[in-house]
Amino acid sequence: MRHLLNTLYVQTQGSYLSLKTDNIRIEVDGRPPQMVPLHHLEGLVVFGNVMLTPFLIHRLAREHKPVTWLTEHGRFMARTETPVSGNVLLRVAQHGCACDASRTLAVARFIAAGKLQNQKTTLLRSAREALNDDPELLREAARGINGQIGCLPLAQTVDEVRGIEGTAARLYWEVFPLMLRANRDFFWLTERTRRPARDAINATLNFVYTVLANECASAAQGVGLDPQVGFLHALRPGRSSLALDLMEELRAVVADRAIITLINRQQLTPRDFVLHEGNTVTIKDEARKLILAHLTERRKEEVTHPLTARKTPLGLVPHVQARLLAQHLRGDRAHYPPYLHR
């Protein structure tokens, strides 16, 4: 099994990263340079204007450690594609499955089921801690999502699965603000808006989802799957559909939960956001640092995987899931088992 290594995030503008005796040497605005040995890292994520020497990029590519470039505000820009080492037979099996409508439907159904189940768990967990008459509303939404899970086996096409998922998503986002217990007048959410984000929650969600999607893309590539050929998500040029598929089950568990925790602990407050004209919101640098630190801590937290029954750090779950999906595609496993959070 893979070892959980750390990811280095660099978001100070104007930093300069170079390779020095198997270390990354980081110069950040005139401070004494810092060295990070490469063997502690599994990837590098840089925000905006951060310079990397070609030698460093080559070395990271050779060791299969991807570099991800995001804009200063966390929007995905590029990612190094390291030499494909995976099994070509596995990729052929994956493409075969993607071309077969009934098999695609089966996988998509399981992915959606995992996502809905985890949304339900998240709602019910929050309901235990919520105040006033919120628990009832949260449980109500969870019941609604439960009903949608029941509809999944009846879906005849992937489009129907997406429709069911959409209905559940509407139920979920409607009650999402009820899970927040601090600064409620500031943190509200009318609808999910992607780019540009219209409110603080959307801005945070977009940011955390980008980070998570990159991890899932790495996981898919790590086991030799093609991250662009997905099942629940439609194929579209330049979109990592499989990474988004793998992410579905983890959205509520990893991303949404993290945001709820940070807001409820009042670590994330209205002061961490900048409101621009024209109704757009961005997150301040310090707050992004805080979110990344929280996510990294969370990655180390151990959960018992329902299928392998082994204690697994949350950060490795995408890798375990990618492996299980590969087993299903190869025909070693009858179904793709989604990750279900307790």
Partner 1 sequence: MLDFLVCYDVNTETSAGRRRLRRVAKVCTSHGQRVQNSVFEVSVTDVQLLTLRERLLAEIDPTEDSIRLYRLRQPRDKFVEAYGRDRYVNFSDPLIL
Half-sphere exposure of 307 (CA within 13 A, CB side): 14
Q: Token pair for residue 10? A: 């660099």
Q: Which of 266, 264, 254 is nearest to 303 (CA)?
A: 254
C-beta separation of 250 from 339 below 8 A: yes
Q: Which stretch binds partner 1 (CB under 8 A): 21-29, 140-148, 198-206, 324-332?
A: 21-29
In whole angstroms, give the CA distance from residue 246 to residue 215: 10
The window from 170-178, 217-225, 276-284, 287-295 that contacts partner 1 (CB under 8 A) reads 287-295
9 binds partner 1 (CB under 8 A): yes
297 binds partner 1 (CB under 8 A): yes
Kindly state whether residue 8 participates in binding partner 1, applying the rule CB under 8 A: yes
Q: Which helix (H) or strand (E) holds 30?
A: none
Token pair 């600064």 in the structure block, residue: 183
Q: Which is nearer to partner 1, 38 or 111 (CB)?
A: 38
Which residue, 8 or 281, has its beta carbon nearer to partner 1? Answer: 8
User: Residue holding tokens 């950060």?
Assistant: 315
Contact between 70 and partner 1 per CB under 8 A: no
Task: For partner 1, give the closer residue by CB, 76 or 186.
Answer: 76
Q: Taking CB under 8 A as the criterion, which residues in 133-162 touch partner 1?
A: none
State the alpha helices, DSSP H only, in the chain.
Answer: 54-62, 88-99, 101-129, 134-151, 158-175, 200-222, 241-250, 257-264, 285-300, 317-330
Stretch that binds partner 1, among 6-14, 202-210, 254-262, 321-329 (CB under 8 A): 6-14
Instruction: Taking each helix axis as running N to C, give the angle between helix 200-222 and helix 317-330, from 0 to 180 degrees, rounded to the nearest 10.
Output: 50
Binding of partner 1 by 247 (CB under 8 A): no
Reported as half-sphere exposure (CB side, CA atoms, 13 A), residue 155 has a value of 26
Residues 26-65 that bind partner 1 (CB under 8 A): 26, 28, 34-37, 39-41
Whichever of 8 and 168 has its CB closer to partner 1, that residue is 8
210 binds partner 1 per the rule CB under 8 A: no
Are 178 and 137 in contact by the 8 Å Cβ rule? The answer is yes
- The stretch among 156-164, 194-202, 286-294, 323-331 that binds partner 1 (CB under 8 A) is 286-294
Nearer to partner 1, 47 or 176 (CB): 47
Closest approach, Cβ 18 to partner 1, in A, equals 14
Q: How many residues bind partner 1 (CB under 8 A)?
A: 28
Residues 70 and 210: beta-carbon distance below 8 Å: yes
β-strand 6-10 against 41-47: which pairing, if any? parallel
Query: What gap in Å lies between CA 304 and CA 105, rounded to an integer?
Result: 28
Among 21, 85, 102, 132, binds partner 1 (CB under 8 A): 21
6 binds partner 1 (CB under 8 A): yes
Closest approach of partner 1 to the CB of residue 127, in Å:
30
User: What is the per-residue DSSP string for 164-208?
Assistant: HHHHHHHHHHHHGGGG--SSTTT---SS---SS--SHHHHHHHHH
Name the site residues for partner 1 (rule: CB under 8 A): 3, 6-12, 15, 20-23, 26, 28, 34-37, 39-41, 289, 292-293, 296-297, 300
